[in-house]
Structure 1
């Protein structure tokens, strides 16, 4: 691990008070890979760099398009047609925090060998389709590297998380009946419980083990019915979940001019119905307005939505590194029209 200097302790004082010295130490020692410097990718990079990350690699082979100027604050009109990771862009990122070791790569991520990925502690992908997620998931799982994927479509978005196996400590209020080790459900297990007292407040320090499902298996053996055991509860699931999973079946539009992207409501409905069948949600009413909205906004990057999702993802990365909270397990859905952001385990 990289030791924090006196200057870094002073610089990160506020966040050390928030999530602890040990968590900041882990953040400072971590090497994170961000694939695709999209609108949401730029927000994630900003959060991680300002948060005191030690090492950051960004890979993107694309060029800056006119549509990128409205969403990515590291770009301006003088950079149109340049690489998204032009030296000027890297300098602007580095200005946020000179202490972070930043590497940019303009190659295609799919061409990299498995050995290249082995240096990273976390992989974060933005604007991926299902085929790409399956590919990167095979790599991350084989190397035991936690994986985050975030996609946005205008006012809608999602975060998929696969930490494989992850342990964390939860500080829970003491009950009259002491919590006992054991499985609480198929994805979470209490491994150890220790009673503690701090400032005359008694609590239970619980070591929790979280288990994650790889992307290629979430539709094979979905867990929704475990957490929504009755038809009444299943029918309360937001149909945005089905629609956004359906979007993954459509090849990504990232690095393509948005004017060339054509997704119809009927095309999206076909994929959404396929997802609904696999998840056992055929009785769920697919909201026609959501289908129409997402089809029209497919691939659009809206900066406020990107900021919200990037904030959630960055905080989850900190939770994961600090081992003090339960990270997302395993799918967060954002519906900007409803201002709702439920988390589902599938």
Structure 2
């Protein structure tokens, strides 16, 4: 069996006074898209920045992250500079604040090519224009000298994608890449990312809170809640039969198409309560919002355990008879 491209084991991230990510593990295989999904504040972005070792000074990280056999948490600064941008690309949420306002977009793309690929600035300019064309920016040659403020939000995000894939990385981390875009542009950007993933034979870690994005673009999905991963499954399997009560709540609250290609008639149901801080957590963090929670659920956090075709952190799901667990999905 081929080794995973990225192997994350027991990752924890603690900011001063706040434990953001709690002992999570997941893998990304070569060429696949893994979606990391959950509510705002659940630790998705902290996970992404931890993988790249881009967290602010004073942040404590623990665990092991292996990328292509290299332990990123033990790599020295020189090795990390080689990996970032060349072997791992990063796309951030808001391109207007991520792009340098005093450099042209072409310079910002070319800079990575000069540093990582050792190209001359003349050759890097030519390659940057090719990349702008690759991400479907019209009249790419003339846009090289534009500044970020000269471009629309959708075009700026395409520039970010061009920068991320410029050195043909093995993995791209896309942190909520469509948050600032309207619905039409969201679809275009995600289709572009998926096309580039296949064309460049790269893997994609897609961080999102949008289950519609997960359903259409992900191969596998890891659901996060309050800093923990509560379920991992193939995307199709998760939507067909969500198992953790939080996953069930997310699916029930998502407008979706049925096989007849029209919106189903089921009412959307909200998840009661609000996400709670994991500080001082005694048991399952979702227990205060779960109608099925028992005293055992509130006593100790459940481990992520194999259950049929997935991993799930819920004693009720794992211990329930097959027919009871199926009925709990409410589909």
Quickly name the TM-score band, shorter chain normalised: 0.3 to 0.5
Structure 2 length normalisation: TM-score?
0.34
Structure 1 length normalisation: TM-score?
0.32
